[in-house]
Structure 1
């Protein structure tokens, strides 16, 4: 396996075609500007490696620390970033454009897993604060340990969540009233409430080790399927989020018409479709 690990992101291949990305910036995985850029670059690197022939079929994200997933944004780094982006030698409009450029880069980095051609599963435990909610919202599947707790924390530091939470959560959960409550109050909510909301699809009893094991087991199941079919399914599900039913049916038909040109054969003994290669 190529060495994809970086300063704060440990990457391993615990089973064939399944990659594990561990967030490892001590002590609490607070995201500095260097860290979120590193995170975005890693997923772009994995996507590029996949396109170049590395057989990546599923990725699991977790924290390497036993008691916390992430404390969110590193506020010291964020303050420094704001000061550097808002060049006082510029007028207000130009300074605003400078800040906007950085924010767009930030959004692009945190949402990189959504653009990957393989499923990304996130295994959550302990506190998942602020930017952690933005991060999980960009993943395909979300598992939570029973120890997990969540907070959309940005209003407590005078910000609106602008990296993905407000764009994703109303569509993920379908409960705009509760999303508003959580975003307006920044209160912590439990794994059970997150499951009820639809933010996570499974609660695993225990802590970090238990939820990571469950996520890796799921990744192995996904990796056993046709990678072409899984990649196509991810693309079509993502497309469906922002289009109506007739548009999605037309797009899916065009997609599958091309996909069926691939080298497919029917195994008469098991009646299973096998994607050659």
Structure 2
């Protein structure tokens, strides 16, 4: 595995298609450094292209998932001088660079499950709203914190959160910056399930990840791609898109294997993607 400064990757079982990607600056409560924004999309692209990877679990080392963007990173981004227009153009490019690292989660064909414990603040919310499935511990807490730093959140929360929790809830959470619990996060739909402890979270997420990893990789990656694309479309456009998708993908060896396995009452064995 390649060595990174801000993250790490583990495959806990050599036979498993589940790979674990950790935010790995526990002493800084996994605040996102400049290294993270460079390394994270590279790591996701590497996992995406690896045929042994079926599912990615995104979690964090230490006591907290993510305490937001590192203040040094924020300071370097906003440290501008010289011509106002050129400084603004550079700032815009820098923001787009930071955004791209988060959007890499959606670009990755493989499903990404966020396993959240402790604090998930600011840029941490940006990350998890881009993930495909979200679970957390009972002691997890969340905050769309940017407004308290005199910033308009700009890495994806304001674009993705309304579709997850509803426009009104997203507006209230984003304007107040208030802290909210794992149980409230589940009530609003931000997470799908709350686990009693970190150990239970890890165990439960592994069960879900293993289950997804055992399914047809063509069907799994297709489901993620079509769902993401359909957010931007009308119902008719979405139906047309999936018809075109399946006209290319439906008649696969995976389909034959799935039908055969059900008939023979055995587990299917799918080729890697």
- Counterpart CA distance in 2 for 1:273 and 1:239 is 31
Tell me the equivalent position of 1:259: 249
Change (3 A) 1:144 1:74: same
Give SS of 2:135's match.
strand
For the aligned residue pairs, the C-alpha RMSD in angstroms reads 1.8
Tell me the equivalent position of 2:59: 62
Conserved 8 A contact 2:68-2:122: yes
Tell me the equivalent position of 1:73: 69
Question: Under a length normalisation based on structure 2, what TM-score does the superposition of the two structures give?
Answer: 0.91
Give SS of 2:25's match.
coil
1:130-169 superposed Cα distances (whole Å, 9 cap, x missing partner):
1000000110000010010000000111101100100000
Tell me the equivalent position of 2:218: 228
- Gap regions ≥5 residues in structure 1: none
In the alignment, structure 1 residue 26 sits paired with structure 2 residue 38: no
Give SS of 2:264's match.
coil
Give SS of 2:5's match.
coil
- Counterpart CA distance in 2 for 1:220 and 1:26 is 26
1:154-199 superposed Cα distances (whole Å, 9 cap, x missing partner):
011110110010000011112x222111111111000111111110
Give SS of 2:115's match.
strand
Q: How many residues get paired?
A: 264
1:71-119 superposed Cα distances (whole Å, 9 cap, x missing partner):
1111122102321xx3x23x21121111010111100101211111110
Larger % of helix: which? 2
In the alignment, structure 1 residue 101 sits paired with structure 2 residue 93: yes
Question: Under a length normalisation based on structure 1, what TM-score does the superposition of the two structures give?
Answer: 0.90
- Counterpart CA distance in 2 for 1:24 and 1:209 is 18
Conserved 8 A contact 1:122-1:143: yes
In the alignment, structure 1 residue 149 sits paired with structure 2 residue 145: no
Q: CA deviation at 1:261?
A: 3.7
Tell me the equivalent position of 2:228: 238
- Give runs of aligned pairs for residues 99-248 of structure 1, distance below 5 A: 99-174=91-166, 176-206=167-197, 208-248=198-238
Conserved 8 A contact 1:62-1:212: no
- Counterpart CA distance in 1 for 2:226 and 2:128 is 20
In the alignment, structure 1 residue 270 sits paired with structure 2 residue 264: yes
- Gap regions ≥5 residues in structure 2: none
- Counterpart CA distance in 2 for 1:199 and 1:180 is 14
- Counterpart CA distance in 2 for 1:81 and 1:169 is 24
Give SS of 1:80's match.
helix
Conserved 8 A contact 1:32-1:73: yes
- Counterpart CA distance in 1 for 2:67 and 2:267 is 45
Match for 1:8 among 2, 6, 23? 6
Q: CA deviation at 1:272?
A: 8.6
- Counterpart CA distance in 1 for 2:176 and 2:20 is 33
